Amino acid sequence: MRRRRWSLDSLDRRIIGLAFPALGALLVEPLYNLTDSAIVGHLGRAPLGALALAGGALTVIWWTTAFIEMATVTLVAQRRGASDAEGATRDIGAAYALSVLLGVAAAVLIFTLASPLASLLGGRGLVRAGAITYLRISALGMVPLVASFAGTGHLNGMGNTKRPFAIAAVSNGLNVALEIVLVYVVHLGIAGSAWGTVAAQFVAAALFVASSVRAPIRPKRPRFSDLARLARDGVPLTIRTAALGLAIVGSTAVAARLGTAELGGQQIALQIWLLLALALDSLAVPAQVIVGEAVGAGDRAKQQLVGRRTLRFGILAGVVLGVITIVTAGIIPEVFTADGGVKHEGTLALIVCGLQQPVAAIAFVLDGLLLGTSEYGVLRTAMLLALASFVPVAGFVLWLRWPGIVGVWLALCVW
């Protein structure tokens, strides 16, 4: 009994030790995005609109290429569990090689299609011109951006979540500093914001590569089969991520058709939901890493134990975050708006958002557990079925209209 207790305590400490740095790394990016919007927003409506359009297009690229990080974490963790250091070195090499190929392809695509993309997204006049400028400069940072995904996957797969957090904090801090100088001192406008981001992406990639070559298991030239396996893993993971994004975008589209107050409330609640999602998703990282190691070692009992412990932590975190969200539902909208109608809708949405957090926590932890077992096809199918369940409920809400913002969030609960 004493030995079992010690084992559980040790496992719990490891879960928490992996989760907290992962949470920090996950939160750095949205906090930077808020700061970036504030910096550009002070230039006027046109630059802020241009940033919104360009950011939307670049997010699609992020969704499409982020599979490299997720798949690499699992591959490295499973190889380590199986004591297959040689295989892990090739998997890491494959991640970096594929990141360069995808980064170059993304750069060419963005630079070439910057003008039609800006028009397709609704850009006109100065907004369109600013979006084109931002996209073409950002194209230069695609290779280091995707390489950073490979580096994060490598280090997380090694059970090192502290280094990715430190690199994210340093690179994003540098990004903010460069943007302030380039935008307000050198007066480069929205181009200064883009150049600052590209410079920071190169620094982040350099730090990840330096960390990778100094790691106990280092990248090695991959075989074609290693590249092919990683690319195959990317197909269901990309579909899964796209389905997730469609539900979030769809909820906003429904709110927009209900009215401006509902749309404003949706924007507030959705930003809080995304912040909560990142907090809960931090538990998916230790779930993926430790289960991946157990899969490689063929230790099914440990896989089940990790599943139970991370699910318990997740449910507890979901309940706590849910209660906090509900209690502060009437206060949070005050930070974002002075409009009474928007505040009312935002409060209603946040109450439902809080109620769904325990279930959301279970979904996020299960996502990490299934990633650790390489069940990418299951994740793809599950997310497509979730999207299919969301669409008719959201359509029904739009048809009835009377449930309003509450109906939108009930549809997200079903999802």
Per-residue tens of pLDDT for the chain, all 415 residues: 444 444 667 888 999 999 999 988 887 766 666 677 677 777 876 887 777 778 777 877 887 888 999 999 999 999 999 999 999 999 999 999 999 999 999 999 999 999 988 887 677 788 889 889 999 999 999 999 999 999 999 999 999 999 999 999 999 899 889 999 998 899 898 899 899 999 999 999 999 999 999 999 999 999 999 999 999 999 999 999 888 888 887 887 888 788 888 888 887 888 788 889 888 999 999 999 999 999 999 999 999 999 999 999 999 999 999 999 999 999 988 877 778 888 898 899 999 999 999 999 999 999 999 999 999 999 999 999 999 999 999 999 989 887 889 999 999 999 9
pLDDT at 34: 63
Helix 45-65, helix 125-138: angle, nearest 10: 40
Q: Give CA angle at 52 (47, 164), nearest 5°.
A: 110
pLDDT for 6: 43
Q: Which of 25, 51, 306 is nearest to 155 (CA)?
A: 25
Contact between residue 181 and residue 237 where contact means Cβ atoms under 8 Å apart: no
pTM listed for this prediction: 0.85
- Residues 272-310 as b or e (16 or more Cβ within 10 Å = b): bbeebbbbbbbbbbbbbbbbbbbbbeeeeebbebbbebb
What is the predicted pLDDT for the residue at 3? Answer: 46
Which tokens go with 167?
Answer: 């690199």
Angle (deg, nearest 10), helices 142-157 and 45-65: 50
pLDDT of residue 68: 94
The whole-angstrom distance between residue 265's C-alpha and the CA centroid of its chain comes to 22
168-197 CB burial, b ≥16 within 10 A, e <16: bbebbeebbebbeebbeeeebbbbbbbbbb
Give the Cα separation of 16 and 21 in Å (integer).
9
